[in-house]
Structure 1
Amino acid sequence: MDFFKHIDLDTLPKKKYRVIKYILDHPDEVISLNTADLAAKLKVDPVTIIKACQSIGLAGFHDLKKRLKDTVRNQEKKSSFTQVLSEFEVSTTTDEAIRNALSRDLEMLTGTIEKVSFEKITQTCQAIITSRQTYIIGLGYIGAVATYLQSILRSHLPKVHAVTEYNGMLFDYMGHFGKGDVVLAIGFDQCQNQTIKALKKGKDRGATAIALTDSEYSPLCTYSKYNLFVHPAPHYFLSPLIGAFSICNALKHCIVEMTKPTSTRQSRAYQKLVEEENVYYN
């Protein structure tokens, strides 16, 4: 495990050995614990946890957890890329390629239903409904998700903005972040630094920070109050977008339910306007 694979456990005293050995054997669990939790689990003093971390060259338990998160995240990325590359190198028919892609999308949606918290979706919707302004940040190819979410919400909530461009547009909106706003940042796998900085800026300015991502180890989760997780499907480059679009639809339907009967009246008025303007070809 990168830094950790060079640790010589045999040189550690018995108590420190047991602490570090447990950490190496259970990295995913340890990441979610604090010093007191781990100490209670191992039946040692919290000071022993800190000293064990220092004995392998780290500043303390917080430093160790940061290293663990980086290592786990890097392993996931390498595994994902290796799986995709190896699959592309295998010869197959076009029919099989199409069927596999569609099947994985279905797997992605099924996994997202199991992974996402319905409570967090409801809390997110309540925050958006009551916000002064809602800023949806999706940079690069993820901008399609931000634009889609804005488009399906704006007939009910015109104070929703999609932020999809770097530099000027992003900085302009960041200057308006404030208390009572919602900043919803979307990022997967290798999340853009600008997205992370924007979410942090929103939190620092008193906005409700929300992350739509595919891993609890995402740097976005460091600053978010609510996390909406999609199922990570590493076999397909754009797989997180499938779950993300589905989460957008869930947010839309939840907001409609939470704002009835106003939302129903707005939908009827929208339909009437569409008919009056003869928008669609008949």
Structure 2
Amino acid sequence: MRLIQMKFPRLSKGQKLIAEYILKHYDKAAFMTAAKLGVTVGVSESTVVRFANELGFSGYPTLQKALQELIKTKLTSVQRIEISSDYISEDNALKSVLKADMENIRATLEKINNNAFDDVVKAIFNAKRIYIIGLRSSQTLAEFLGFYLNLILDNVRVVSTGVSDIFEQLLRVGEGDVVIGIGFPRYSIRTIEALKFVKSKNAEVVAITDSLLSPLASYADHTLIAQSNMASFVDSLVAPLSVINALIVAVGMREKEKIYETFKALEGIWEEYHVYTYNPKDKNME
């Protein structure tokens, strides 16, 4: 925003109209195409592109991404609803959301660091104890990761809100332990405080978040990036869940024999206590 203010005197008349709109409505402009922004302001799409170039960006998409990074941690749920109504309607909700999630996975595939991923898998196996914390909407991800890791390992604990405070649950964290923190915009302050606390106790910290600029990443020894951009009141957790799936599979591949015996025992228990639907014909196929 400061860059726009600095460049403003040298902009053309049409570019100044764009600048004024962005300064006043940056939350909406961040999710408009160049054509949509041009129509809204009353200038051509090419003027919008030249405006982005004048600011020093390689193109409008780069400017748009910078605006999105600027605002994504500041938007309230009400503002998200207002923005999403500009390009999502009842008629196109399914297609728009699926396309956005596909883009998040594609971007995650490009951004995530394979070496960091391998380091996290190693850290999990070397850990004395593993703590997983994700609050608010990220709690679903934490529970999912905890559920499957608990089937593979016997030293996993999911830190959750409830009767005891999260700091009480992390009281005995120390050197040799791994704490996995999960958080996406809008970041939970409690999660950030928890990672700061365990870092002071010399635990190894893993952050699963959307950017290396994320406040969770500042306390992490290892950071796994998963994109979650979504101009809606609902957080997009498809890409983060995909990364967590990959993490579970990678851990499981190292413990194939143990997992086989675990699930063999569980299948017997599930069948005996009718945990899942059971088809007697399945027995005949064995």
Measured in 2, the distance between the counterparts of 1:135 and 1:230 equals: 20
* Residue type of the alignment partner of 2:83: S
Does structure 1 conserve the Cα–Cα contact (< 8 Å) formed by 2:228 and 2:240? Answer: no
Equivalence map 1:152-163=2 (5 Å): 152-163=148-159
Indicate how the Cα distance of structure 1 residues 83 and 139 shifts in structure 2: closer, same or farther if over 3 A, else same: closer
Measured in 2, the distance between the counterparts of 1:79 and 1:140 equals: 16
* Residue type of the alignment partner of 1:129: F
Indicate how the Cα distance of structure 1 residues 244 and 280 shifts in structure 2: closer, same or farther if over 3 A, else same: same
1:181 Cα deviation from its structure 2 partner: 0.7
Q: Percent identity?
A: 28
What is the aligned partner in structure 1 of residue 109 from structure 2?
Answer: 113
Indicate how the Cα distance of structure 1 residues 111 and 90 shifts in structure 2: closer, same or farther if over 3 A, else same: closer
**In the alignment, is residue 138 of structure 1 matched against residue 134 of structure 2?**
yes
Does structure 1 conserve the Cα–Cα contact (< 8 Å) formed by 2:73 and 2:187? Answer: no
**In the alignment, is residue 88 of structure 1 matched against residue 96 of structure 2?**
no
1:131 Cα deviation from its structure 2 partner: 1.2
* Residue type of the alignment partner of 2:186: Q
Q: Deviations for 1:156-206, whole angstroms, at most 9, x for unmatched residues? A: 113211112178330212211111111111111231222111111112111
Q: Output the TM-score relative to the length of structure 1.
A: 0.68
* Residue type of the alignment partner of 1:259: E
Counterpart secondary structure, 2:251: helix
| Alignment root-mean-square deviation, CA | 2.9
Between Structure 1 and Structure 2, how many residues are aligned? 218
Q: Output the TM-score relative to the length of structure 2.
A: 0.67
Richer in helix (by share): 1
What is the aligned partner in structure 1 of residue 193 from structure 2?
Answer: 197
Does structure 2 conserve the Cα–Cα contact (< 8 Å) formed by 1:140 and 1:164? Answer: no
Measured in 1, the distance between the counterparts of 2:6 and 2:96 equals: 41
1:79 Cα deviation from its structure 2 partner: 8.2
**In the alignment, is residue 185 of structure 1 matched against residue 181 of structure 2?**
yes
2:275 corresponds, among 258, 276, 279, to: 279
Q: Flag structure 1 segments of 5+ consecutive residues without an equivalent.
A: 9-70
What is the aligned partner in structure 2 of residue 26 from structure 1?
Answer: none
2:224 corresponds, among 223, 228, 237, to: 228
Q: Deviations for 1:12-68, whole angstroms, at most 9, x for unmatched residues? A: xxxxxxxxxxxxxxxxxxxxxxxxxxxxxxxxxxxxxxxxxxxxxxxxxxxxxxxxx
1:279 Cα deviation from its structure 2 partner: 1.6
* Residue type of the alignment partner of 2:114: F
Does structure 1 conserve the Cα–Cα contact (< 8 Å) formed by 2:208 and 2:226? Answer: yes
Counterpart secondary structure, 1:280: coil
Equivalence map 1:29-44=2 (5 Å): none
1:176 corresponds, among 172, 194, 197, to: 172
Q: Deviations for 1:95-126, whole angstroms, at most 9, x for unmatched residues? A: 31122112222222222222222222221122
Counterpart secondary structure, 1:234: coil
